[in-house]
């Protein structure tokens, strides 16, 4: 249910924070949130140094509607309303153009890519190599309740990059693990991500040398290899 005003929304955020709940701000998208709300939410996030997550450039129609209503593209609107910064995570950014990617790089914002969801919805592919070359931090998400598997998301991110560039190993295993751990923690405003315990006796890791486990996890394992987190 949408709140009656942005003030009511921020009051709810404050009440949760006062109750000891770790909070962040998530105005969903430029389609769901008026520009003046985005301005207030962006200012609040900066003032309190809170994570701000927002969907943008997920679908072509969204971009067309944003251009029609605001005269700019979604990530450009986020910049205009003060919603971009190191505390910001833009979810999807599937159809971001070069100028928008430059805005993300300059602001220090993160992109949360959700490859299996974007495939399921037929939304397209993140411009992975252009994002990587600009040094834009990436993290992964699911944006779906159909299947939750971080290894699959990381594997598909590399698969997208390979299809787009025509070469293998665009992201190294270490880079992908940063995307799935350190950079994900950063996007949530956490200092670190808790470690995981992997079942080295799992059939997917049978006879894999210890020094190759990280690469094997990304290349061929599912979430069922994790025994505790």
Catalytic residues: 92, 143
On the 0-12 / 13-18 / 19+ scale of CB atoms within 10 A, 162 is middle
52 phi and psi, to 5 degrees? -130, 115
Give the whole-angstrom CA distance, residue 52 versus residue 68.
25
Do residues 139 and 183 make contact, with C-beta atoms less than 8 angstroms apart? yes
94 phi and psi, to 5 degrees? -60, -40
Do residues 108 and 86 make contact, with C-beta atoms less than 8 angstroms apart? yes
Find the DSSP H helices in the chain.
Answer: 6-18, 35-48, 60-70, 74-80, 98-107, 115-121, 128-133, 150-165, 173-180, 182-187, 213-220
Question: At CA 121, angle to CA 222 and CA 83, rounded to 5?
Answer: 95
In the block, tokens 């996007």 appear at: 187
**Bridge partners of residue 197, in order along the sequence:** 228
């Amino acid at each position: 249910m949408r709140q009656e005003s942005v003030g009511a929304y921020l009051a709810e955020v404050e009440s949760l924070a006062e109750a000891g709940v770790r909070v962040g701000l998530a105005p969903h998208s430029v389609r769901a949130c008026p520009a003046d709300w985005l301005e207030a939410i962006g200012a609040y996030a900066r003032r309190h140094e809170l994570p701000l997550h927002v969907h943008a450039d997920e679908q072509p129609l969204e971009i067309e509607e944003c251009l029609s209503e605001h005269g700019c593209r979604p990530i450009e609107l986020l910049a205009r309303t003060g919603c971009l910064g190191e505390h910001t995570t833009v979810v999807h950014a599937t159809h971001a153009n070069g100028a928008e990617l430059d805005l993300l790089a300059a602001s220090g914002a993160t992109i949360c890519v959700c490859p299996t969801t974007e495939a399921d919805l037929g939304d397209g592919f993140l411009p992975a190599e252009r994002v990587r070359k600009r040094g834009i931090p990436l993290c992964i998400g699911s944006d779906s309740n159909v299947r939750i598997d971080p290894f699959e998301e990381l594997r598909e991110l590399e698969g997208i990059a390979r299809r787009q560039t025509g070469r293998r190993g665009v992201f190294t295993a270490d880079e992908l693990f940063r995307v799935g751990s350190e950079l994900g923690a950063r996007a949530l405003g956490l200092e670190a991500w808790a470690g995981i315990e992997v079942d080295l006796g799992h059939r997917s890791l049978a006879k894999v040398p210890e020094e190759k486990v990280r690469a094997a996890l990304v290349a061929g394992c599912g979430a069922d290899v994790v025994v505790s987190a």
